[in-house]
Structure formats: C-alpha cells, structure tokens
Structure 1
Amino acid sequence: MRRLRRRCIKTETGEALPSAPLTPEERRHRTFQRAIKLLAAKSRSVAELRELLLQTRGATVKVVDEVLARLRKYGYLDDGRFAFGYASLKLRQRPLGRQRLKRDLAMKKVDKTVIDEALDLVFAEVSEEEQIDRAIEKRTRVRGRPKNRAQAKSLFDHLMRQGFPFELIAEKVRAASKTDLDDDI
C-alpha cells in the first residue's frame, strides 16, 4: 500500500510543519480526481462511488455531492447504463438468471426500478431459457447428465443458486433426467 505524501512547509531552521488545511476548491479538485481515477478502473454505481469518496481524507458530504453532480452532468455516472452494462457483461461471462443479477445489482446499491428496467432490456436480447440451457450444458459437460435423484437435485440446486425461476428449472431438470432414462431403455 502506498503512503500518502503530506505537503509540508519548511521553516528557516529546516523543521517541517504540517501544511495548512485544504481549501474547499482543493477538496473539490482532489475528490473529483479520485472519482475519475475510481471510474477509470471500473464502472461503479452512484451509491458505490459515493461510499468510496466519503472514505477519502478531506472529503465532505457536500463536496462529494457536488462532484457526483458534475460527473452526472458530464455523462460519466449513470446507474441505468451501469446496471445494463454490468448485467450484459455477467451474462456474457456465464449463464445467470434474473434473480441472481437482481441480487448482485442490489448489492451494488442500484435502485430497484433501475435494476428492473436494465434487466428487462438485457433479457429482451437474451432469453432466460437460453441462459438456463447454457448453464445445464456447461454443468453436464463437467459432471455428465443426472443419473439419479441426488444428481438431479444437485443440478437443481446449482440452477437455483444461479438465479433461475423455479418452474423453468423443474421443467429443464426433468427433461435432462428423462433423456438419460430414455437412453437406458
């Protein structure tokens, strides 16, 4: 972890005195620079960024709110765009259900209405049924098709943790198990 350098003023004898407190303009500038740095590393929700900025030394609630308003004005901060991008990326990386994405975005402190709008847009492009088929295919590639009730339950539980709806899981697991039983006959 790197150390923060403190600005020091040296006296005639060479002793270092701590610098004067930051002016409001310096606080705003430092907080803005920190916000830009945090957003450059990865996109964040408004609440997530607010929380991180308030942990910064010298940042006050008023300064952070001004910085967030400025970032919104420039188009750098938008919860709707963040939620859509986050959900799209997660679905490209691995198959997930609507409930899992909703829970993940809620943990990122995105508003529920914004989450619902973003997920509606994402699942308009890719259906949840396609996602569950991908998840089952991926799981069966590694572990094989469920051969007994315990393996079917394991697959069912896995899909529940991934956030898929109960009815869809039951239908797909039943179909996957039935296919295997039909092959044995």
Structure 2
Amino acid sequence: MRDEVSEVRRRAGKLREIRTAGGRRFLVLEGTPADRFLDPGRSIGPEEIEELETEHALPAGMALAYRLLAVRDRTEREIRDALAHEGVTAPPVVEEIVASLERRGYLDDRRLASAYIRYTMEHRPSGPHLLRRKLREAGVEDGIIEEEIALALTARDEARAAERLARGKIRAGGDGKRDARRVHGFLTRRGFSSHVVNDICARILRGEIPGENHEQ
C-alpha cells in the first residue's frame, strides 16, 4: 500500500523527521540520497518505505546517537529509547547502531556507572539506595551497579558522607530530638543505609555530632 509524505520537520543539525499521511515517522539526514523524500505530497511505495526504515534510518540514527553522546555518556537503554522516540525502530538498524557504538567505545554502561557515582559523591553525596535507583532508571544492569558501588563507596565512605551532610542540618544550640528527626528524613531521602542513618541520629541525640556552626 502506498503512502504520502505529509510533513517534514527539522530536527537537530541535519536530521529531518518525515511524517506520512498514514501515520508513519522516519528519521533521515538531509544532504543524503534521502533528500528525495523531503517533499510534502510525495507518494512513497512499499519498497521506498522499507528503504526509509532501514537504509536511510541507519545514518540518521547514528547521527542522532553521536549528538546525544556529545552531551554526556548514555547507557545502551537510553540510546535505544532515544532511537525509538525518533522513529528508528527497525531491529536490524537499532542493533547495528548499538553494536557500532560499543565497538568504538562510545557505549560502556560500566564506565558510565563508575563516572556517575564518582561525580555524585563529589557534588551531591548520596547513599547506595539512591545511587542504585538512579542507575537503574538509566538502564544499567544490577550486577554492574552493585560492583561499581562496592568499588567506589565503602561502608566507611558512606558513614563519613552521611555525617558531613548531617552536620549541615544540625542547628547550634538547637533541640537534639528535632535535629535528629530532620537529619533522619534528609539522609533517608538521599538514599543512605538505614543502619548508617540510625547511627548518625543516635549520635546526634547523645550530642556527639555538633552542627557546622556549633560554637566550641
């Protein structure tokens, strides 16, 4: 069955999205043989539809992936999701893009997980529970997540990070019970282990952790 190009939308750079009257979407690169499909009203047959789904989708999908990776590292799942969002869905094309990126070293979920953990602990210290959730949301496998957290965040590191954050939440001369409740909620939301949170709060109640502005 034939279809018809109804609209051509500009995407990033030379990427263009072709929409058809039949509800299809194709991602192509301007300045390539796919240019002949960039005219609204152009009729396209089954062979041309297959050509748009495969032959022309491959370079467009690669260009999209490179643009995304130029901003920051991505997981394999993020790349797959981005391709699907832009209409690149033919399995052979998607698999070739992913495999090509992996061969070139552009896709490495382990490297991404390690870098994410290091960056987070330096700029926004968090506990292992929050780190796991964020990495899972990005599509990193559980095995990789656990290994990288174990390498980057020892029990002592977690306790020290939690204590530093707690000190910033304790008010000099304030009520210990109120401070402990505040710190408990804060550290729990930041994903710290329950035993670490409970230990910090017990120490606050005993007056062992002064606030950052505590007067000695």
**TM-score (ref. length: structure 2):** 0.70
Q: Which amino acid aligns with 1:121?
A: L
Shift in Å, 1:37: 0.6
Deviations 1:5-28 (A, max 9, x none): 5645799xxx96367542733211
Deviations 1:67-87 (A, max 9, x none): 000100000001111111111
> Counterparts of 1:52 and 1:79 in 2: how far apart (Å)?
16
Aligned partner of residue 104 in structure 1, secondary structure: helix
Aligned to 2:175: 147
* 1:72-83 alignment runs, 5 A limit: 72-83=102-113
> Counterparts of 1:148 and 1:124 in 2: how far apart (Å)?
28
CA shift in 2, pair 1:149/1:54, >3 Å: same
CA shift in 2, pair 1:59/1:84, >3 Å: same
Which one has a larger percent strand, Structure 1 or Structure 2?
A: 2
Contact 1:80-1:118 within 8 A present in 2 as well: yes
> Among 38, 42, 60, which residue is 1:17 paired with?
42
Q: CA RMSD in A?
A: 3.0
CA shift in 2, pair 1:144/1:17, >3 Å: farther
Q: Which amino acid aligns with 1:118?
A: E
Aligned to 1:176: 204
- The answer to whether residue 174 in structure 2 is matched with residue 159 in structure 1 is no
Q: Which amino acid aligns with 1:88?
A: R
Shift in Å, 1:146: 5.3
Aligned to 2:60: 30
Q: 2-11 or 39-48: which moved more?
A: 2-11
CA shift in 2, pair 1:145/1:48, >3 Å: farther
Aligned to 1:123: 153
Structure 2 unpaired stretches of 5+: 1-8, 19-34
Q: Which amino acid aligns with 1:130?
A: R
Aligned partner of residue 73 in structure 2, secondary structure: coil
> Counterparts of 1:170 and 1:50 in 2: how far apart (Å)?
41
Deviations 1:43-86 (A, max 9, x none): 11111111111111344222111100010000000111111111
% same residue: 25
* 1:38-57 alignment runs, 5 A limit: 38-57=68-87
Shift in Å, 1:104: 1.0
> Counterparts of 2:111 and 2:184 in 1: how far apart (Å)?
32
Structure 1 unpaired stretches of 5+: none
Aligned to 1:3: 10
> Counterparts of 2:82 and 2:145 in 1: how far apart (Å)?
21
CA shift in 2, pair 1:56/1:180, >3 Å: same
Q: 80-89 or 20-29: which moved more?
A: 20-29
Contact 2:135-2:145 within 8 A present in 1 as well: yes
Contact 1:9-1:16 within 8 A present in 2 as well: no
> Counterparts of 2:126 and 2:180 in 1: how far apart (Å)?
19
Shift in Å, 1:126: 7.5
- The answer to whether residue 94 in structure 2 is matched with residue 64 in structure 1 is yes
Aligned partner of residue 42 in structure 2, secondary structure: strand
